[in-house]
Amino acid sequence: MGRKLDLSGLTDEEAEHVLQVVQRDFSLRKKEEERLSEMKQKLDEEGNKCSILSKQQKFNEHCCIRCCSPFTFLINSKRQCQDCKYNICKSCSTYQKKEKAWICSVCQQAR
Ligand SMILES: [Zn+2]
Ligand SMILES: [Zn+2]
């Protein structure tokens, strides 16, 4: 521990006290910052989850995940992609005869 800090005018005891306060303040602030950034990260993750969920469930209940066109009974009927399990519309899907299932254009390209 270097004792030659420039705290002229203070006694050793006072200087020590000041140092302690500063250090405690610093570590408290650091803890607080860590806590905040952790919280922020959690919130971000939560936000991501939410947007993915809303895409998957609510949004995808009514609209095609690939072209965003709304599903309508018969005219643009909803079907589920075998690979990604998203709901897709007629024009975004292709029928796989072998598997007797629909897959979306994106998954087809990925195959
Ligand atoms: Zn579509
Ligand atoms: Zn797919």
Token digits for 63? Answer: 């609209």
For ligand 2, the distance from its centroid to the CA atom of residue 92, given in whole angstroms, is: 9
pLDDT of residue 99: 94
For ligand 1, the distance from its centroid to the CA atom of residue 93, given in whole angstroms, is: 7
CA distance 63 to 51: 15
State percent of the chain over pLDDT 70. Answer: 86
Mean pLDDT, residues 27-38 taken together: 90
For ligand 1, the distance from its centroid to the CA atom of residue 77, given in whole angstroms, is: 10
Q: Could you read off the pLDDT of 48-105 as tens digits, one per residue?
A: 765 666 666 778 889 998 998 899 877 888 999 999 999 999 999 999 999 999 999 9
User: In order of start, what are the domains of the chain with their CATH numbers?
Assistant: 12-110 (3.30.40)
> Residue 101 CA: which ligand is closest?
2
At residue 1, does pLDDT exceed 60?
A: no
Q: Are 62 and 81 in contact (CB under 8 A)?
A: no
12's CB contacts (< 8 A; 6+ apart) are 3
Q: Are 27 and 50 in contact (CB under 8 A)?
A: no
pLDDT of residue 85: 92
For ligand 2, the distance from its centroid to the CA atom of residue 63, given in whole angstroms, is: 14
Q: Are 96 and 82 in contact (CB under 8 A)?
A: yes
How large is the C-alpha radius of gyration of the chain? 30
